[in-house]
Chain A
Amino acid sequence: MDISTLIDSLHPLEIKVLTTLGLRPSGTALGSEQLADAAELEASQLSMAVEWLLAKSLITVQTETVTPIVSLTKIGEEYHQTASPIERVLAAAREATSTGKRLTIPDLQSQGGLDPSDVSKAVGRLKKEGVVLIIQGGCIETTGRPSPTAEALRPLLGEMHDSPKELKSFTEAHRQVIEDFAVKRGNAKEPFRVDERVARSFILSPDGAGAAAQLLTQGVAEEVSQLTPDLLKDGSWRQTRLRKYTISLRPPRIGTGKKHPYREFLDTVKTKLVSMGFQEMRGALVETEFWDMDALFMPQFHPARDIHDVYFIKEPSHTTAVDEPFLSRVAKVHENGAETGSTGWGYSFDVHRAKRLVLRSQGTAVSARTLAASPQIPGKYFSIARCFRYDQVDATHATDFFQVEGIVLGEDINFRTLLGLLNLFAREVAQAKDVKFLPAYFPFTEPSVEMHVRHPRLGWMELGGAGLFRSEVTLPLGVTVPVIAWGLGLDRMAMVALGIHDIRELFTDNLELIRTTRGLF
């Protein structure tokens, strides 16, 4: 960098420091305080300027001295106002000895205002100094000898009460007391604190000397840091020197408006599904067992309908009515298959149970409602539905979560088009080319498939389950064409995309985490 470019980039504070040093005979070192005084800078301004100049190698550190400084801690100030534990213990011991009263360590510890550990420490020190004796029965008695510690503490507390002092200004004996009673790691409850004050002196480097000489000869032009409307209006910006910035520094942080990373992920899935021709469905958080399970041909004795698997609603516990003709048709199908070509489950269907209200336990409930509401044929539908499971919450189980699921209706739907659709999902949603189809079981589909895909970053993973809805599901709801039911398990993909390992973090309350998480979709 040539010298004029360098000078143009200097901050006014830097210029003050450079010229102050430049006015002194070459090689003069100035300490921080002298430099601040001479340059007429606040201590904080000086320290900023010095750091910048050091970074640019325009000044160097000539000397660096470390001075231990002693000051009182909050506890020290308290001891100064009242008395230190050792003083209080000594006073109590002297009084007990002179009046002949029994005084034990527990007696002292039960006295108000004294911490038991302070008492043991004080007694220990006094004993070591030969000031007190522990006699039979644990009684404390004074020997009449003075305590150097107690006598030193009082003046030391007084002396430092107002202002910190250099450690070396004290006598050897007092220094020992200070060190014994100074805050150390693991022992914060002490009256003194010893800090190290670093004093540095600075001289100009050869580059700095050159810059200072140049500045002193050319004089310092009037510099402005901010272009203002006034400068623009009257044209005075032409006569103004705008300081050049050091642009390599990191900028200050600002607040951002943005989507939640998990919602953003779900938005990309939503967009994909819409682009593949899927229409969105919505459903209620509270559902009847009928739509959540009965309509899906899950028998009322199915283990997944247990009190330990589904959340039931307290009030009202049941719906007033389930839409007909669906209720009676589904009831018959459960009992004997009715006209679906099925044998049914062969049990007596409980209509009251069907009316029980639950928190939606599976997104397929939304599909069941769609089937009953005269869907488009051919038609494709999806929902991203919040569902609830009666699970202990841990790293892989959440009590509420999103399920991405849907249906495809059409004359051309069969087992092979089901596989074709899953291939499409694999490619579009998981960017996967390799797909494996495994036989699976769901109460409402037959045949049923589980799809495993090779994700470009995750390797083989289960992407979802699907199948052809059983006739026991579709016919009672008034649908006569074959229907694919599908569901995608995307949480693992989302967690990898968001770089998290615990499902609870998807719904974290940590704002800093939400703000800094980036989705790599």
Chain B
Amino acid sequence: MPTITIFKDDLESLLTSEGGVARGIPMAQLEDWLMLVKGELKGHNPETGELRIELQDSNRPDLWCCEGIARQIRIKQQGRLKPYPFFDKTPTSPHHLIVKPGMEQVRPYVAACTAKGYRVTEKGLAQLIQTQEKLADIFGRKRKTVSIGIYQLRNITFPVTYELVKPDEVRFTPLGMETAMTLSEILMVHPKGLEYGPILAVQSLLPILRDAKAQPLSFPPIINSREIGEVRVGDDELFVEVTGTDLRMVILSLNIFAANLADRGAIIEPVEVRYPTSTVLGTRVKTPQDFGKPATIQMKAIEQALGQELGEVMVKQALEAYGYDVSAEKGSVKAKLPPYRHDLMHTMDVVEDVAMSRGYAEFTPVMPAQFTVGGLSPIEQLSDRSRELMVGLGFQEIISNILGSPDQYCRAMRLEGTEWGRTVEVDNVMSLSFSCLRQWMLPSLLRIEAASSRAFYPHRLFEAGDVAIPDGIHELGSRTETMIGALIAHATTHFSEIHSCLDVLCYYLGKDYSLEPLQHPSFLEGRAGRILVSGKPVGVIGEVHPEVLERWQISMPVVAFDLNLSKLMGLG
């Protein structure tokens, strides 16, 4: 879900169709239009005209830019997409890009085009760079599968070659540096080399783009040459290339870039890429290229999914107004995505586009009519009854994080290295305070007690909730169980006070229990018990050990019990 920054006047000028002028579009209107692109306005600076927009659809990289947003709105207003000529054209220009053997081992694919006649403006340049970054970062998975370079065309002599070189064979001055460096120096020193170098980590030969005069254009996917690969405001002839590991993603990225530049007034000339061996699109691949295929979609599928009869004509209209190329047949439509999109995985993707193009407000909600019986799970019912009883016993319910620290759940409880001290631990710890799951309730209750010595006494607290108990036999390595824990703290509390509460709870839950003496590090010896129901252990009760209280910095006697409701189910 990328968030991009665009300028309102830039968007407005891209919305302007031939002759028409769009200025001062009301923000409410703009927000309505943003529904077409699943965009959410995150910020608006009325002084600079800056808009921050979050684009929700991670499968629509064409929308992650000002040009793409404007295009989707424009199509809706004009009823259809005005075709881009360069997708059909066979290359008339002599521009070739030659892929040398060996690239398939490293970064096999490349696509490129030229753009002339658009003089780069300051805002336009900022958008070019933003699109380049968002595409490479999110769609290209941090340049792993796709990365993009833009160059001044006038400095390049064709044909350009895409080939492998030894790490110290070629030197050039990369962007952001003053002096020429070898590729291995770039990997070791340049910030981009350090950041993206790992993509190429195990390669003994490294990829490079060079022109016919052997001038390096760039070291993909790391960095461009400073001499050729730095575009400035005022440039009006550009060369754009995309390299990557997936041919379709590479071409799609170039298609998006080409459409964007064309929308800003550039004339796009395709480049023919010549591979040494055949790709899925042949050995000579003209880019940009519309490689999409039309799909036939049954009207029944669309109408059933939308719950509404629309008819072929209306569906055709809706899809055209969303950029599709559509022909209606009887009972079905044949629909093809525009060349800058490649996100059609399933009929339902088309269905959503129909709904969006028409507007969600066009669909009248209907209540689902079928009868179903509602209810709570047995464990939730037991938990709720226990909570009611604890409230009746005068206990205040509390609620806690389940993710905590070993310090809290084990060390402070004197449980390190004991059977009770095993917890489910997190591997990628961000903060020790949130590094393991609680295995019982008492630490959660003591957390509140430790923070509340000023709240008037007595304290009677309880919590019902989930814990995770490590279990080597369970397929998930642990069992999630629901427990209820209760605590009493005041100057004269003692075992029998909490015992009475447990007694009442078990009585009304209909569980016949008994206690057997228990040695447990968290409780005082001789004042702790294991709770048994039908001979099975279901919990512990006792006076909390003074050393535990010291570790929590609690200076009030505490008695408590912990009862496993999941284990209690079906017993006694």
B480 and A286 within 8 A (CB): yes
* CB interface residues, A 462-487, toward B, < 8 Å: 468, 470-472, 482, 484
B455 and A511 within 8 A (CB): yes
A259 and B466 within 8 A (CB): no
**Minimal beta-carbon separation of B164 from chain A (angstroms):** 25
A390 and B346 within 8 A (CB): no
Residue A127 interfacial (CB < 8 Å): no
Query: When chains A and B are docked, how far (Å) is the Cα of A224 from the Cα of B434?
Result: 60
Query: In the complex, what residue of chain A is closest to B436 when comparing beta carbons?
Result: A314
**Minimal beta-carbon separation of B421 from chain A (angstroms):** 14
Query: When chains A and B are docked, how far (Å) is the Cα of A263 from the Cα of B387?
Result: 11
Query: When chains A and B are docked, how far (Å) is the Cα of A413 from the Cα of B59?
Result: 25
- Report if A301-B141 is in contact (Cβ < 8 Å); known contacts: A344-B345, A417-B368: yes
Query: When chains A and B are docked, how far (Å) is the Cα of A301 from the Cα of B402?
Result: 28
Query: When chains A and B are docked, how far (Å) is the Cα of A262 from the Cα of B63?
Result: 40
A416 and B370 within 8 A (CB): no
- Report if A420-B372 is in contact (Cβ < 8 Å); known contacts: A260-B399, A343-B345, A447-B355: no
Query: When chains A and B are docked, how far (Å) is the Cα of A91 from the Cα of B468?
Result: 70
Instruction: Classify chain B's interface size.
Output: 35 or more
Interface digits, B396-440 against A, CB 8 Å rule (1 contact, 0 not)?
Answer: 111111110000000000000000000011111011001001000
Query: When chains A and B are docked, how far (Å) is the Cα of A449 from the Cα of B38?
Result: 10
Residue A113 interfacial (CB < 8 Å): no
Q: Which residues in A have their C-beta under 8 angstroms from that of B400?
A: 507
Q: Which residues in B have their C-beta under 8 angstroms from that of A311?
A: 403, 426-428
A321 and B360 within 8 A (CB): no
* CB interface residues, B 337-396, toward A, < 8 Å: 344-349, 351-352, 355-356, 360-361, 363-377, 379-380, 384, 387, 390-396
Residue A142 interfacial (CB < 8 Å): no
Residue A270 interfacial (CB < 8 Å): yes
A26-34, A227-235, A273-281: which lies at the B interface? A273-281
Residue B213 interfacial (CB < 8 Å): no
- Report if A514-B367 is in contact (Cβ < 8 Å); known contacts: A274-B374, A280-B375, A446-B351: no
A285 and B427 within 8 A (CB): no
Kindly identify which residue among A256, A282, A420, A423 contacts B396, using a CB–CB cutoff of 8 Å: A256
Q: Which interface residue of B59, B348, B465 has the most chain A CB atoms within 10 A?
A: B348
Query: In the complex, what residue of chain B is closest to A276 when comparing beta carbons?
Result: B374
* CB interface residues, A 261-315, toward B, < 8 Å: 262-263, 267, 270, 273-288, 301-303, 307, 311-315
Query: When chains A and B are docked, how far (Å) is the Cα of A33 from the Cα of B36?
Result: 86
Residue B48 interfacial (CB < 8 Å): no
Q: Which residues in B have their C-beta under 8 angstroms from that of A337?
A: 345-346
Query: In the complex, what residue of chain A is closest to B342 when comparing beta carbons?
Result: A343
Residue A429 interfacial (CB < 8 Å): no
B476 and A287 within 8 A (CB): yes
A274 and B372 within 8 A (CB): no
Q: Which residues in B have their C-beta under 8 angstroms from that of A512?
A: 452, 454-455
- Report if A260-B398 is in contact (Cβ < 8 Å); known contacts: A287-B476, A441-B38, A441-B57: yes
A255 and B460 within 8 A (CB): yes
Query: When chains A and B are docked, how far (Å) is the Cα of A284 from the Cα of B471?
Result: 13
B58 and A471 within 8 A (CB): no
Q: Which residues in B have their C-beta under 8 angstroms from that of A449?
A: 360
Q: Which residues in B have their C-beta under 8 angstroms from that of A380?
A: 372, 374
Residue B252 interfacial (CB < 8 Å): no
Residue A319 interfacial (CB < 8 Å): yes
Query: When chains A and B are docked, how far (Å) is the Cα of A277 from the Cα of B380?
Result: 16
**Minimal beta-carbon separation of B542 from chain A (angstroms):** 22
Residue B308 interfacial (CB < 8 Å): yes
Kindly identify which residue among A341, A421, A437 contacts B361, using a CB–CB cutoff of 8 Å: A437
Interface digits, A400-440 against B, CB 8 Å rule (1 contact, 0 not)?
Answer: 10000000101111111101111110000000000001111
Q: Which residues in B have their C-beta under 8 angstroms from that of A263?
A: 387, 397, 399
Interface digits, B438-449 against A, CB 8 Å rule (1 contact, 0 not)?
Answer: 000000000111
Kindly identify which residue among B307, B369, B395, B463 contacts A257, using a CB–CB cutoff of 8 Å: B395
B428 and A319 within 8 A (CB): no
**Minimal beta-carbon separation of A290 from chain B (angstroms):** 11
Interface digits, A98-133 against B, CB 8 Å rule (1 contact, 0 not)?
Answer: 000000000000000000000000000000000000
Query: In the complex, what residue of chain A is closest to B462 when comparing beta carbons?
Result: A257
Query: When chains A and B are docked, how far (Å) is the Cα of A345 from the Cα of B456?
Result: 60
Query: In the complex, what residue of chain B is closest to A316 when comparing beta carbons?
Result: B477
Query: When chains A and B are docked, how far (Å) is the Cα of A201 from the Cα of B472?
Result: 81
B346 and A340 within 8 A (CB): yes
Kindly identify which residue among B308, B348, B451 contacts A509, using a CB–CB cutoff of 8 Å: B451
Residue A378 interfacial (CB < 8 Å): yes
Q: Which residues in A have their C-beta under 8 angstroms from that of B364?
A: 416, 419
* CB interface residues, B 42-66, toward A, < 8 Å: 56-59
Q: Which residues in A have their C-beta under 8 angstroms from that of B461?
A: 511
A286 and B468 within 8 A (CB): yes
Contacts A259-B397, A321-B475, A400-B401 supplied; 12 other A-B pairs, CB < 8 Å: A286-B437, A286-B477, A313-B426, A315-B425, A345-B345, A378-B370, A378-B372, A415-B307, A419-B360, A441-B57, A507-B399, A511-B448
Q: Which 4 A-B pairs have the closest CB atoms?
A: A414-B307, A511-B452, A416-B307, A419-B365
13 contacts between A and B (CB under 8 A): A284-B468, A284-B476, A313-B425, A313-B427, A315-B477, A321-B475, A337-B346, A393-B434, A412-B369, A443-B58, A470-B348, A509-B452, A511-B461
